Amino acid sequence: MRFCDFFVEYKLRMKSVNSVIRYDEQPRYRLALFGLFIIFATLFAIFAVSNVIFDDMFTVYMGVSAVGMFIIIVIMGILDSIRKNKERLLEEIRKPYSARRMNVFIQLL
């Protein structure tokens, strides 16, 4: 088997391996912070649209929404860098995905 044939077949089989992490498999802190991020982003959009009506409070609304989103992103980054959370993601998500990829590779050989 030529390498290009091997590579094409490997890529075709890899499409059957699911690489997307489902929403309900995410850690709870990510779900909560993602929900808060969506709320702040929605408020940001609402305040941007309501600029026509409340012209004087626009900058305050935008500032609060932007600061809220920034704080959520920082908290998410801090929580993702905790060793316990990294180990959990490695064991529950990354290792099974790598095992499925190795199985596809071994089947081709």
pLDDT digits (tens, 9 = 90+) for 4-28: 777 788 888 877 777 777 777 778 8
Question: What is the residue-averaged pLDDT of the chain?
Answer: 78
CB-CB contact of 65 with 47 (8 Å)? yes
The upper half-sphere exposure of residue 96, i.e. CA atoms within 13 Å in the direction of its Cβ, equals: 10
pLDDT the model gives residue 98: 82
CA–CA distances in Å: residue 67 to residues 26, 36, 50, 100: 25, 12, 19, 41
- The model carries a pTM of 0.54
pLDDT the model gives residue 58: 65
* pLDDT at 106 exceeding the cut of 70: yes
pLDDT the model gives residue 52: 63
Residues with Cβ within 8 Å of residue 5, at least 6 apart in sequence: none
pLDDT tens, residue by residue, 63-81: 777 788 888 888 888 887 7
* Whole-number Å distance between alpha carbons of 61 and 67: 10
